[in-house]
Chains A and B, each alone.
Chain A
Amino acid sequence: MNLKELVPQKLQEKFPKLSFEFVDYRGDLSVKLEKEHIVEVCRFLKEEPELEFRLCVDVTAIDWAKRKNRFTVVYHMFSLKHNFRLRLKADVDESECCIDSVTSVWKTADWHERETYDMFGITFNNHPDLRRMYMPEEFEYYPLRKDFPLMGIPGSLPLPKKD
């Protein structure tokens, strides 16, 4: 059976109470769900023998700036067994800017989530080591947010003194 049909079917079978939103765009399937259930759904997708999404390709986010739920966290995963790619999306609001970490499912997600935290300021609950990835630890802003100016905030990044 084609995974494009199997994934929605399996998810609805396993989680009958959750509301999923399936979008097929240009041949790629995306699944939208509520952020509270992200870990259990990810674990199911990884461990279900007929799906086996063993590889977490990326965890990233989108800043919609003015929408009600400001951020969308996006998980890209890949099933090596079936050569099939899947996107998982969960909305996160600015007032409660956190989502559960999927590091307990895929260890790879560790650095991906750190990067997302560094760039967007979304905290990942239960993350083993949530530090900044690129920016200095004492930096106070999140560069990929839409309200961050391209040239940065003057004086926010220290430079060595010229002798």
Chain B
Amino acid sequence: MGLEAKLKEEGFITSTIDAVIAWSRESSVWPMPMGISCCAIEMMASGDPKYDIARFGSEVMRFTPRQCDLMIVAGTVTYKMAHVVKKIYDQMPDPKWVIAMGACTSSGGMYRSYNVVQGIDQFLPVDIYLAGCPPRPDNLLNALIQIQDKIGRTKARDFQDKKLPELTVVPNN
């Protein structure tokens, strides 16, 4: 980034706290891989050496929601699964973002049917709708970059004193 050179020259840099926090947030977005169906294969492919999501600081796919700040919902969400997705989303610490990966998640896709939720934005706040069936890994990386831009524009105080969501408990069948 040329930071070292600058430091050598002038000894210090100035910035705002907001910019530094946003920069560090966007540079290490930890995804929660909510891989439900075929989109998950492309999501996995984006982690391989060819596409290498590590270039963008997001290689740490955490399989516990408590350590994540980006949920990639990759696959068809049925009404039964919707409760699970929401339960996991609720467990992620704020601030958090959501990518609706693929046609099914964004709009129900080709499953225009009674059992599939016609777009997860009915129960989740979605930041990026990702087109494709399934989207190619480079498309997912593009969505990640968009999310990073979005995070970069946030201010630290946007997330302060936020009310915690009440966890809804749905009895299992």
Contact = CB atoms under 8 A, between A and B. Distances in A.
B80 A162 contact: no
Given A150-B112, A151-B112, A162 B122 contact: yes
B136 to A, nearest CB: 30
A149 B114 CA distance: 8
A160 B168 CA distance: 8
B44 interface: no
B123 A136 contact: no
A135 B117 CA distance: 14
B114 A143 contact: yes
Number of contact residues on A: which range applies? 20 to 34
A160 B83 contact: yes
A163 B125 CA distance: 8
Interface string A103-114: 000000000000
B115 A152 contact: yes
Given A136-B173, A160-B123, A162-B122, A150 B114 contact: yes
Interface in B42-74: none
A63 to B, nearest CB: 15
A23 interface: no
A143 B114 CA distance: 8
B113 interface: yes
Interface string A87-105: 0000000000000000000
Given A136-B173, A137-B173, A160 B82 contact: yes
A162 B124 CA distance: 6
B82 to A, nearest CB: 6
Contacts of A157: 79, 114-115
A161 B89 CA distance: 12
Interface in B63-105: 79-80, 82-83, 86-87
Given A135-B80, A136-B80, A160-B83, 19 more contacts: A134-B80, A134-B115, A135-B115, A136-B79, A149-B114, A150-B112, A150-B113, A151-B112, A151-B113, A151-B114, A152-B113, A152-B114, A152-B115, A153-B114, A157-B79, A157-B115, A158-B79, A159-B79, A159-B122
Interface of B: 79-80, 82-83, 86-87, 112-115, 117, 122-125, 165, 168, 170, 173
26 contacts: A134-B115, A135-B80, A136-B80, A137-B173, A150-B114, A151-B112, A151-B113, A152-B113, A152-B114, A152-B115, A157-B79, A157-B114, A159-B79, A159-B117, A160-B82, A160-B83, A160-B86, A160-B87, A160-B123, A160-B170, A161-B168, A162-B122, A162-B123, A162-B124, A163-B125, A163-B165
